[in-house]
Amino acid sequence: MMAAGRPLRHALWHRIPVPRSPTLHRRPFGSQSQSSPSTFYRTAGYTVLFALSAGLFTAYYLDARSAIHRYVFTPVLRYAFDAETGHKLAVKVLRSGLAPRDPVKDDESLRSQVFGQEIINPVGLAAGFDKDGEAIDGLFNLGFSWVEIGSVTPKPQPGNPKPRVFHLVADSALINRYGFPSQGATAVIPRLRGRIPAFRDADAHTTAALRRGSVLAINLGKNKSSPVESSEDFVTGVKTFGPYADVLVVNVSSPNTPGLRGLQNRELLEGLLADVTKARDELEPSPITSRRPRLVLKIAPDLQESQIIEVADVIRNSTIDGVIVSNTTITRPSSLIDPNRSEMGGLSGKPLKPYSLQALKTLRTHLPSSIPLIGCGGISSGADALEYARAGASLVQVYTSFGYDGVGTCRRIKDELISILRAEGKTWRGVVDEAVQTLSRKEPEPQQPNPVEPGEATIGKLIEEAEELKGLLDRLAERTE
């Protein structure tokens, strides 16, 4: 009976619905609508908070002065990647248009003047960072008044084998043996042309930089495969890039291209400068600036004093417009302590400063005030920049300190300069003008003939003739004896 009843009970059990617990019942529609306002406001609050945080961080990130760039992003980039990879990533960020900017208008005390053009501030970026002209406007946006791209060679070349650039963190220095890696002129020219439509404001077209008070310089390099003593690559560079540059830099001082520094010898330098100035003078005025580019020579810091004097003599007898002092050094000061100090290549950064500064001082005393000098080497502060100004440099350039301190380097140096100049009651231009006038070579004054009283010339002539006649009579008397 029990056994027979089991299937029935089992079937009835499954057919009869079992009441659910009240806690498992679906909530009525009304209870859902009561909780949704609080959920909505909470979600909205989180969204607004996130948006505000993102906006504030974006504003903070886009300000080149933000400490996060110097103390977080730049060190992370340096330690997470090898030196060359970090360098390339930095160029890509600046090229992207998403890089930070200097938001501050330059103070009037920073104004300078070179080549008859007013410059908004004296801090420029040296060649070597943007080798192929990929991030020109990103660099100008960081506050540099002078952006120098290159070195650019006529033909593409890979440069020296890797690894070829090394941080000397303990010495705040860098050693590179890049050897002019370049995409070549055909890759760079479209980038220069491509900038022009973005700056169609005719009022800005006073410089090839397409920014008032700024300078775009192109550093001309030489292909490794070219004959050592030939000037052809530089002449080609002048003809190719002349229409797109305010300044063309003739780089004969890189230590990483065999034989290049030999072009600083008197005879070869005379021929080179004659060739490049002739090529420049034959150019049509630039459609951008209505002028021909200025030509600037970049020299090494390792020249002996006698060699610098020779270089100055050649420059004075040419129509070159200015000089950058200096490139990297092959000297290794005993103060270096970083393990990478033994690497081959050119040394830049703080240890370079004494060599560059001394070379600039020597050159300044052997050139007239009409030829401006641009100081480059070991500049990482406003005080460093001012030291170059007091030695007679019209502008300065940074490179290694930019790599170590990041995108705020230019703004920081300018702020330090402003502080020092205000404390002294001076301006950059005033400091430079005083130094240049005091230290530059003084051209000898043409000698004026002494005024002669009427009759003096006649008396002098008579005395001279009388002495000649006396000498003739004496010789005649000797013969008769």
Phi, psi (degrees; rounded to nearest 5) at 247? -140, 135
Half-sphere exposure of 282 (CA within 13 A, CB side): 11
Nearest by Cα to 391 from 363, 423, 426, 350: 363
User: What are 481's two structure tokens?
Assistant: 């004896």
Q: Can you state the angle between helices 382-390 and 353-364, rounded to 10 degrees?
A: 30
- Cα 329 to Cα 2, 162, 181, 347: the distances in Å are 107, 20, 19, 5
Half-sphere exposure of 363 (CA within 13 A, CB side): 34
As a whole number of angstroms, the distance between CA 396 and CA 156 comes to 29
As a whole number of angstroms, the distance between CA 327 and CA 330 comes to 10
Contact 207, 112 (CB under 8 A): no
As a whole number of angstroms, the distance between CA 258 and CA 180 comes to 11
Residues 6 or more apart in contact with residue 64 via CB below 8 angstroms: 100, 101, 102, 103, 142, 143, 407, 408, 410, 411
User: What are 477's two structure tokens?
Assistant: 């008397």
Q: Which of 112, 182, 253, 254 does the annotation list as catalytic?
A: 254
User: What are 328's two structure tokens?
Assistant: 């990297």
Catalytic residue list contains 254? yes
Which residues form the catalytic set? 254
